[in-house]
Amino acid sequence: MKGYLHLQSGNCFEGKWLTKAQEAEGEVVFYTGMTGYQEVLTDPSYRGQIIVFTYPLIGNYGINKEDFESKIPHAAGVVVFKGNMEHSHFQAECSLAEYLDKWNIPMLGKADTRAIVKKIRRDGSMQGRLSAAADSLPTMKERSTVISEVASTELKTYGRGSQHIVLMDFGFKHSILEELVNRNCRVTTVPYRTSIETIKSLKPDGIVLSNGPGDPKAMAGILPSIKKIAEKYPTLGICLGHQLLALAFGGNTEKLLFGHRGANQPVMNVKTKRVLMTSQNHGYVVQEKSLAQTPLQVLYKNVNDKSIEGLAHSTLPIITAQFHPEANPGPCESNYLFDEFLEMVKHQTGREKAYA
């Protein structure tokens, strides 16, 4: 049965339904990784987006119990060239199409994904609609924030390690939590609107601001609180957390033309000149010129477009990464950032004991 992807620009791309035919609407973005579709679909940062996978064969190892980044998938829809092949992996429990059907997420196959991506790269990410009708146009209005749909509303503690880390949840990936727990941390996840008074009562050694969906400027109301928290505790910001820290300390953000979504983004440490291959998923970026009058210094840059990929505070133990050091999916060569962060935590804790 024929299906269609309609773009806000008026372009229409024909395909064939690989799941139940149904309407879906969202921002159309593309992901360039060859693998990792399960992690992508369950990454809360993709909430409400229609994901176009550029690799032509998606779904060939099925869906398993091990690679979820959250309990449910968050994509609004999926577009692939081929996605209904037999899966062949010993851990697989169902096919990609079966998994998406379970959650009522449509997948359009046999689509010209190269043409779709070329359109987005030229004109930018835009609203789109998956439909069985050949003349269905998407709504032009974008959702300002969807964080409340993916973030937790209660405190929860994981692990029994010696260092206590508070993870502020804007829609965190489980692999971030796992990286901390595996490094002997006790981690308490808290709602993103948690006050500094409540955080003080938890007596954390450090703070992590998680990834999450949407425009960081939509969170302007909590920026003063974020700044107070980061000024008191060693802090690591990842993806959206990186952008929020930049805004909190006086920087500015803007939307990229089509964003960075893939597992092969080259990033350079501007001090060491070392280049890392990183996993990324974001549509917004920190403006470098906006940092001139702030205490934030550029630590990482994207090799391809020179955009800001990480920051460090000039005097406080605060570091950020636009990319995903937990790297699920993707290369794990940047996960040492968790070690650097925990060294800052350890150093700060040692100083406080010395002056107690």
Structural tokens at position 202: 């938890």
Asked if 75 and 51 count as a contact pair (C-beta separation under 8 A), the reply is yes
Angle (nearest 5°) at CA 28 between 23 and 34 = 110
Half-sphere exposure of 103 (CA within 13 A, CB side): 18
Structural tokens at position 31: 């992901």
Distance in angstroms (rounded) separating the CA atoms of residues 179 and 101: 31
Asked if 79 and 107 count as a contact pair (C-beta separation under 8 A), the reply is yes
Count, residues in the chain: 356
Comparing CA positions, the residue from 80, 27, 81, 22 lying closest to residue 50 is 27
**356 exposed, middle or buried (CB, 10 Å; 0-12, 13-18, 19+)?**
exposed
Is 23 tagged catalytic? no
Is 94 tagged catalytic? no
Is 326 tagged catalytic? yes
103 three-class SS = coil
**Catalytic hit among 25, 179, 309, 326:** 326
Comparing CA positions, the residue from 81, 87, 99, 85 lying closest to residue 19 is 99
**Catalytic hit among 179, 239, 282, 309:** 239
Exposure string over 316-345, b if 16+ CB within 10 A, otherwise e: bbbbbbbbbbbbbbbebebbebbeebbebb
Comparing CA positions, the residue from 77, 93, 96, 75 lying closest to residue 85 is 96
Distance in angstroms (rounded) separating the CA atoms of residues 199 and 201: 5
Amino acid at position 80, single letter: V
Give me the sign of the Cα torsion angle 270, 272, 277, 281. Answer: negative
Q: What is the 3-state secondary structure (H, E, C) of 303-317?
A: CCCCCEEEEEECCCC
User: Where do the H-state alpha helices sit in 35-93?
Assistant: 37-41
**Catalytic hit among 87, 282, 313, 324:** 324
Residues with catalytic function: 239, 324, 326
